[in-house]
Amino acid sequence: MKGCELAIGITALASAIAAQIEDDADLSVLAAAATQFGDTLATIAAWRVKCAAEAERQEAAETEEGQDGGEGG
């Protein structure tokens, strides 16, 4: 799926949902909740990337320590 297809699909979904919700206050609450949901997913994804990078650095440091220990004399 191309990025523009995803954007078009999301726009169509939002339009269909908005058409079913007549009260603007209710629609505003739903929009705020959807934003919070998306922000929370982004936070979780960023945390996973950070943790994976830290684990990778830790593993590399441990590997280096193991290699350095075997070369001493």
Provide the pLDDT for residue 2: 82
Provide the pLDDT for residue 34: 97
Mapped onto helix, strand or coil, the DSSP state of residue 12 is helix
Tally of structural domains, the chain: 1
pLDDT values of the chain reduced to their tens digit, one per residue, 73 residues: 787 999 999 999 999 999 999 999 999 999 999 999 999 999 999 999 999 999 999 999 999 888 876 555 5
CA distance 26 to 32: 10
Around 37, how many Cα atoms within 13 Å sit in the side-chain half-sphere? 6
Residue 3 domain-assigned (yes or no): no
Provide the pLDDT for residue 60: 93
Instruction: Show the domain range for 35.
Output: 24-73
Provide the pLDDT for residue 67: 86
CA distance 4 to 6: 5
Mapped onto helix, strand or coil, the DSSP state of residue 23 is coil
Residue 30 domain-assigned (yes or no): yes
Provide the pLDDT for residue 6: 93
Residue 53 domain-assigned (yes or no): yes
Residue 70 domain-assigned (yes or no): yes
Residue 10 domain-assigned (yes or no): no
